[in-house]
A and B are shown apart, each in its own frame.
Chain A
Amino acid sequence: MTKDIENTLEIKNGQAVNLSEIPVLEYQEFHALVLDLLQAEDVHCVNYYAFPHNDILRFICCLADDRTQGIYLLSHIMATGGGLLKLESLTKYIDALHIYEREIWENFGIEFEGHPWLKPVRFPHDRYNGDLKVNDYPFYKVESEELHEVGVGPIHAGVIEPGHFRFTCNGEMVLHLEIQLGWQHRGVERLLLEKPKLLQRTILAESIAGDTTIGHTLAFARVMEGLSGISVNSRLDAERAIALELERIAIHTGDISALCTDVAYQLGTAVFGALRTPLINYTQDWCGNRFGKGLIRTGGSHYSLTDELIQRLRNLLDDFEWRFKEMADKAYSLVSVENRFDEIGTVTNRQAKLIGTVGMAARMSGVKRDIRHSHPFASFSDIPYSPVILEKGDVYARYYLRRLEIEESINYIRKVLDNKRYFLSEATSPVPETNLNLSPVSISVSMVEGWRGEICHCAVTDEQGKIIHYKVKDPSMHNWKALELSLRDLEISDFPINNKSYNLSYCGYDL
């Protein structure tokens, strides 16, 4: 193990380092080392990508170690141009890496030998093989006279984002669900390089997934702060953590409402739905936008929490808490609701680990994975957060986890507000930066636990300090696979509650 780690570079969440400090390994050595490091339960891959620079394709792998709060960076390179490029697959040994290798294959045409299924990820406009279009994607087929297929999408029967779900069914039972995405692709990663201004890039980060504005923009701001050597004061850290937890509480509450809708529990739909409104209206009162657009900026904030806003936040949480509890006590003890959620769409602990779920989709199945706890950022390093872990991995677990996380987040915000060091001082948040001097030939990795789970952003700069690669990873990259598994051997009519219980991002995945 010690020798292994010598061949990697260990950094902390949000840290930037010179690219030359990352050891460049032979692929064989890289392959063996990744497999070896991932033997440990507490190590998982948070990003693995490639980018072209000076005729060389450089691969960066980021493995997060929950024991040390460290992120190991490993690298290998490949000459581009000429000939079919082949590498031995890592997915062959570790299923959770399937998505990263598929992405690299889709972008650069690298064949990963032994990968079980090099299936397109999102049909990006700059993909290696432009011939195959998203609308012509050949879905997995099972030939049998007994079976039929149900295709849904890209446009769904609701005010939601587009994607295609293909069910292979035996009567009412789902044998297999395949999800293909890509319809939402806007070219975010490319635009992050092409649009030169910091403000443009910040707004792009806000738009990666508009329902996770705070989560993604915070990950972006911390990458930029890492690369430009800015350290923010604890007041700003505290405000960021509050914004992140408010986003979590609001979305979780809305999701509980939506789950009630799908089992026709109208009282729950109406009351939880109405409870979300004052939360997002508070965010609007704070920064002028119900989703927090404008709130998170690099190096500072335009909207420091005033004493009046702090008092209103306390009142809001007090009021929300008893109303939420009153409704939840009912909604979580109704037999008719429980009966629809219990033991439906189970993803076992073993499956969750195999496919590498993150965030809620991990914690529902007993996988303790929470960046706030394992790689703390903002005020989470000062005031620890203890993750909520459930075991069953069914719809009920996802429904119940939201309730518990809401309660934890309320407690957490109160702890932050009560911390005299942050809020009784005169200090306010600094003014945001407008121009940054990014350190040349550097890389920064930033992770944030958004409400869906682990968000990871990486940026790489060239000799002039210009960003040459920006990599975004939304937690949905891992978790869509969990939805597919949930549907196995389930009635197709249970799809909506399963889909709602995950509430994954299409645009965060499609970028």
Chain B
Amino acid sequence: MIKETQILTHHGRQYIPDLTKARVPAPFRGRPVISSAEVDDKALMELCPTGAISKNPVSINLGRCLLCGECELAFPEKIKFTNDHIMATNDSKRLVVREGEDKRILLNPDMIREDIKQIFNRSLKLRQISAAGDNSCELELGACGNPNFDMGRFGLEFVASPRHADGIVITGPISENMAEAVQICNAAVPSPKIVVLCGVDAISGGIFAGSQALNREFLQEVQIDLYVPGNPPHPLTFINGILELTRVKFLIQ
């Protein structure tokens, strides 16, 4: 017992007291800012492995961006990835960061279904579905419940059965082989329910976009309540996105 107490004392308090104010230190690559510097647009677009960059004006679509940072390395005067991890949104248009913009990506309050805040304000149980995810998103979602991030404090939890869940969180680009399982699992979740796409692979297919091994038809049939960019998203990106979606009081300034 003495030994255990000693370990606990050394272990200390691991939890992050305020998850909404926590910062991820640089060189973490979060929301990019694009300057008005003149660069070879074509070369910049050509460089991006997923075609996330477009021009007129130069913009980066975080639904496609792998946050690999290669564009910043090649064009440091044009692109800078900040350490701002607040990137989740319910409005796919807000995933696009344009030249000259430097503001936080938040949810569009007008697009949040009213019942979400009424019902899930204090508790939200989610069924995670790995649909050909590479296990980095899955590990980060697992970390959301660990002693550091402890999302359980907000009544947020991953549950085993879709019957116990208030929604699904999809990671991975959705393979053909998983397509049916995703449908069945979503159908098993009682309504009202939410659908979250976690990670760039889920949002756009990421580096796997265009692969014949995928079947993303499911996404045509449902309304997406939250997009969480990142490859994988940082636990704080996910937790803050979910809080913004479900809390009556907005927490992030």
Contacts and interface: CB of A to CB of B under 8 A. Distances in A.
B217 interface: no
Contacts of A154: 178, 181
A190 B212 contact: yes
Contacts of A510: 132, 175, 177
Nearest to B234: A290
Given A125-B212, A183-B178, A273-B146, 19 more contacts: A154-B178, A159-B141, A159-B142, A161-B130, A161-B133, A162-B181, A184-B130, A185-B176, A204-B207, A208-B134, A274-B14, A274-B147, A285-B25, A290-B234, A293-B68, A326-B10, A330-B3, A507-B135, A510-B175
Determine the interface band of chain B, counting residues with CB < 8 A from chain A. Answer: 35 or more
A438 to B, nearest CB: 19
Given A185-B213, A186-B211, A190-B211, A162 B136 contact: no
B84 interface: no
28 contacts: A134-B177, A154-B181, A159-B128, A162-B181, A182-B177, A183-B181, A184-B130, A184-B175, A185-B175, A185-B213, A191-B207, A203-B68, A210-B232, A274-B147, A277-B146, A285-B27, A288-B26, A288-B69, A288-B81, A289-B28, A289-B67, A289-B231, A290-B234, A291-B139, A323-B11, A330-B7, A507-B132, A507-B135
Contact of B7 (A159, A161, A211, A327): A327
Interface string B14-42: 10000000001111110000000000000
B135 to A, nearest CB: 5
Contact of B160 (A158, A187, A274, A291): A158
Interface string B156-171: 0010110000000000
B130 A191 contact: no
Contact of B161 (A157, A160, A294, A326): A157
A197 B4 CA distance: 53
A490 interface: no
Interface of B: 3-4, 6-8, 10-11, 14, 24-29, 47, 49-50, 66-70, 73, 81, 128-143, 146-148, 158, 160-161, 172-173, 175-178, 180-181, 185, 201, 206-208, 210-214, 231-232, 234
Interface of A: 123-126, 133-135, 154-155, 157-162, 182-187, 190-191, 194-195, 197, 199-200, 203-204, 207-211, 213, 254, 267, 270-271, 273-274, 277, 284-285, 287-291, 293-294, 302, 323, 326-327, 330, 505-507, 510
A191 B158 CA distance: 32
A209 B206 CA distance: 15
Contacts of A213: 136
Contacts of B212: 125-126, 187, 190
Contact of A302 (B73, B143, B201): B73
Contact of A187 (B141, B158, B208): B208
Nearest to A287: B27
B187 to A, nearest CB: 13
Given A155-B129, A161-B138, A274-B11, A186 B214 contact: yes
A160 B29 contact: no
Nearest to B208: A186
Contacts of B146: 273-274, 277
A183 B177 contact: yes
Contacts of B214: 186-187
3 tightest Cβ-Cβ pairs between the two chains A and B? A210-B136, A187-B213, A157-B160
Q: Which of B14, B148, B178 has the most CB of A within 10 A?
A: B178
Given A135-B180, A155-B181, A161-B133, A199 B10 contact: no
Contact of B232 (A125, A155, A195, A291): A291
Contact of B134 (A133, A209, A284, A285): A209
Contact of A267 (B8, B136, B140): B8
Given A187-B213, A271-B11, A327-B7, A125 B133 contact: no
A331 to B, nearest CB: 9
Contacts of B201: 207
Nearest to B127: A155
A191 B27 CA distance: 30
Nearest to B25: A285
B136 A199 contact: no
A84 B177 CA distance: 27
Nearest to B149: A277
Contact of A209 (B135, B141, B231): B135
Given A155-B181, A287-B27, A162 B49 contact: no
A182 B135 CA distance: 15
A335 B228 CA distance: 43
A323 B12 CA distance: 11
Given A186-B213, A210-B232, A302-B73, A200 B49 contact: yes
B2 to A, nearest CB: 11
A211 B10 contact: no
A160 B140 CA distance: 11
A270 B147 contact: yes
A210 B181 contact: no
A340 to B, nearest CB: 18
A120 to B, nearest CB: 11
Q: Which of B14, B136, B161 has the most CB of A within 10 A?
A: B136
A124 B14 CA distance: 43
A300 to B, nearest CB: 12
